[in-house]
């Protein structure tokens, strides 16, 4: 199949009522874990990179990613996650991303909407999908291990979501409804009523950030209530780290490549499981 836009993948997901996993990668091992899992399941997948990967200092990695996605046997969107500026979004496009997220969720509403609009004008001229966020999902992506708590005062309101969509015509919208990035402090409490109200008013796919740390029942319920993209990183990365720790503890003799094999296998298993739980349909369906 190939490198496609995220709009292509998410429009089908919305039409057929399932979610697609969007997994962050910063290295080739995790990339292969994600893509091999999707290829085995014959499902579309969203491969996400972070702003440092498109800074101009990681061109070799980005060239590998675009080439690998192009050669994939399933549709893959290469998406820039959490770009904090217009310029970062443009760098993502020039590095081969087929989709970018402008994250203005910490900015005042009007500024977030105005920059999102500029990003959309430029990105759409190149055939690239744009995601934005309204409300704010707590937890700093670079500090995922300390534990985070959702702050209801930052949840997305229906009024804001509608106004934001009307102003920007964004392709898909990330909302804050009780998840956090990274490890949870306490038990997550998702505001499904809020999600239903937002879903009823917006014609575009809704995105969930902070996908790690929920139960399989939570994911299924989120999909039933209309989530079409689930961003996922921490649990995959921690599962890989745990598997390596266990392997090192239990194995007397090994070489470096054995560790890579263990890491990739553990991450791939997490991705495979979540593709199933998110209900992502195979490409032929
Ligand atoms: P987690 O690391 O909590 O899975 O969140 C990932 C994410 O939302 C990336 O945008």
Tell me: the pLDDT tens digits for 192-242? 999 999 999 999 999 999 999 999 999 999 999 999 999 999 999 999 999
How would you write the pLDDT of the chain (285 residues) with one tens digit per residue?
A: 689 999 999 999 999 999 999 999 999 999 999 999 999 999 999 999 999 999 999 999 999 999 999 999 999 999 999 999 999 999 999 999 999 999 999 999 999 999 999 999 999 999 999 999 999 998 865 567 777 888 888 999 999 999 999 999 999 999 999 998 988 888 889 999 999 999 999 999 999 999 999 999 999 999 999 999 999 999 999 999 999 999 999 999 999 999 999 999 999 999 999 999 999 999 976
Q: What is the pLDDT of residue 100?
A: 98
CA distance 148 to 30: 24
pLDDT at 151: 86
Residue 56, annotated as binding a ligand: no
User: Which ligand 1 atom is nearest residue 144's CA?
Assistant: 2
Residue 116, H or E segment: helix 109-125
**What does the DSSP 8-state code read for residue 3?**
B
What's the confidence (pLDDT) of residue 141? 56
Q: For residue 182, say whether it is annotated as part of any ligand binding site.
A: yes
157 C-alpha to ligand 1 centroid (Å): 21
Cβ-count burial of 251 within 10 angstroms (0-12 exposed, 13-18 middle, 19+ buried)? exposed
Residues 115/147, Cβ–Cβ less than 8 Å: no
**CA nearest to 189, candidates 176, 197, 178, 174:** 178
- CA–centroid distance, residue 20 to ligand 1 (Å): 14
Do 75 and 50 meet the contact criterion of CB atoms below 8 Å apart? no
Burial of 144-165, coded b for 16+ CB within 10 Å and e otherwise, reads: beeebebeeeebbebebbeebb
**What residues are labeled active site?**
81
Q: Which of 83, 48, 44 is nearest to 62 (CA)?
A: 48
The number of beta carbons lying within 10 Å of the beta carbon of residue 188 is 17
Task: Note the pLDDT of residue 142.
Answer: 59
Q: Give the residue from 207, 109, 125 showing the smallest Cα distance to 166.
A: 109
Q: Is the CB of 41 under 6 A from ligand 1?
A: no
| Residue 68 Cα to ligand 1 middle (Å) | 23
pTM (predicted TM-score) = 0.96
Q: Residue 144: CB within 6 Å of ligand 1?
A: yes
Minimum-distance ligand 1 atom for the alpha carbon of 208: 8
**Which distant-in-sequence residues (6+ apart) come within 8 Å of 151 by Cβ?**
136, 138
CATH numeric code, 6-277: 3.20.20.70
Question: Residue for token digits 């949870």?
Answer: 184
Which residue's CA is the nearest one to ligand 1's atom 5?
210
Residue 150 pLDDT? 87
Our answer on whether the CB atom of 264 is closer than 6 Å to any ligand 1 atom is no
């Amino acid at each position: 199949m190939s490198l496609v836009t995220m709009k292509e993948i998410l429009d089908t997901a919305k039409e057929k009522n399932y979610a697609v996993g969007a997994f962050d990668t910063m290295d080739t091992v995790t990339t292969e874990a994600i893509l091999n899992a999707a290829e085995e399941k014959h499902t579309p997948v969203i491969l996400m990179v972070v702003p440092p990967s498109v800074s101009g200092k990681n061109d070799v990695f980005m060239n590998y990613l675009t080439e690998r996605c192009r050669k994939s046997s399933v549709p893959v969107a290469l998406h820039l996650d959490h770009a904090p500026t217009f310029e970062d979004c443009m760098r993502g496009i020039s590095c081969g991303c087929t989709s970018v997220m402008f994250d203005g969720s910490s900015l005042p509403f009007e500024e977030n909407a105005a920059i999102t609009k500029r990003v959309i004008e430029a990105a759409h001229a190149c055939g690239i999908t744009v995601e934005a966020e309204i409300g704010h999902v707590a937890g700093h992506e670079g500090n995922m291990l300390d534990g985070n708590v959702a702050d209801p005062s930052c949840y997305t309101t229906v009024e804001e979501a509608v106004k934001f969509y009307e102003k920007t015509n964004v392709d898909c919208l990330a909302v804050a409804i009780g998840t956090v990035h990274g490890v949870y402090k306490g038990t997550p409490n998702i505001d499904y009523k809020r999600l239903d109200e937002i879903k009823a008013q917006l014609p575009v796919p809704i995105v969930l950030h902070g996908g790690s740390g929920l139960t399989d029942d939570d994911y299924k319920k989120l999909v039933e209530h209309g989530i079409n993209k689930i961003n996922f990183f921490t649990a995959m990365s921690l599962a890989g780290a745990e598997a390596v720790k266990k392997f090192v503890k239990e194995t007397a003799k090994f070489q470096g490549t054995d560790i890579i094999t263990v890491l990739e296998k553990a991450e791939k298993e997490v991705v495979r499981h979540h593709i199933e739980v998110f209900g992502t349909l195979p490409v032929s369906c």
